[in-house]
Amino acid sequence: MKKIMILLFSVFCFSSCSKAQETTAMKDKNVLIVYLSRTKNTKTVAEIIHQKTGGKLVELELKNPYPENYQEIVAQVSKENETGFLPPLKTKIENIEKYDAIFIGFPTWGMQLPPPMKSFLKEYNLKGKTIIPFNTNAGYGIGSSFETVKELAPESKILEGFSIKGGKEKDGILFVMKGDKKVKAEKEIQEWLKKIGIL
């Protein structure tokens, strides 16, 4: 009986210790948070993640910014998706090799990953890194965006992503991540980060 108890204790300790070591390892990683935000909703989610994980926060900017007019940007992005055009980035991230875990945040555009985020994933070598996607959308979900992240970073470890409803620009509903909505987002992000072993 004593041997059985010792064996059970050893098994429990091994599994608990392994999980604890894994979580600690994630906390010790160098974290980069890269995001694309038009109406500041994704920016707010990125800032919440940054508050909870630390690391470096970087907003993606284009060499040639998109038009302010909603219909014009929709037409331009649609054309870019059709042709496979990758808009050149103004943002440059030095020493990206020093980061172990990279959060990438973006809105859903046309049910796809925005072209600037495709540019980022194509431009940098993310082999062996842990990639964690997060998303804001108009209520229609992530579309094919998370799958595209996996396709463009095939040699990275992709963790479960996070998605939340933001504004609805075509209806003139822009920045919504404030007040009660922000408090709710903070709680959901906290739960997500715990679930994927970051916190």
What is the per-residue DSSP string for 17-75? HHHHHHHHHHHTS-EEEEE--SSSHHHHHHHHHHHHH-SEEEE--BSSPPPSSHHHHHH
CA 189 vs. chain centroid, Å, equals: 11
**Residue-level pLDDT at 29:** 75
**Residue-level pLDDT at 164:** 98
The whole-angstrom separation of Cα 33 and Cα 44 is 12
**Residue-level pLDDT at 16:** 44
The whole-angstrom separation of Cα 131 and Cα 126 is 8
Length reported for the chain = 199
Q: pTM for this one?
A: 0.86
The whole-angstrom separation of Cα 113 and Cα 111 is 7
Instruction: Look up residue 123 and give its DSSP letter.
Output: H
Please say whether the dihedral angle defined by the alpha carbons of residues 8, 9, 14 and 18, taken in this order, is positive or negative.
positive
C-alpha pair distances (Å), 63 with each of 32, 93, 100, 194: 21, 14, 27, 36
Residues lower than pLDDT 50 in the chain? 3-25
**Residue-level pLDDT at 5:** 43
Q: What are phi and psi of 49, to 5 degrees?
A: -60, -45
**Residue-level pLDDT at 1:** 53
The whole-angstrom separation of Cα 106 and Cα 121 is 12
Question: What domains appear along the chain, each with residue ranges and CATH number?
Answer: 29-195 (3.40.50.360)
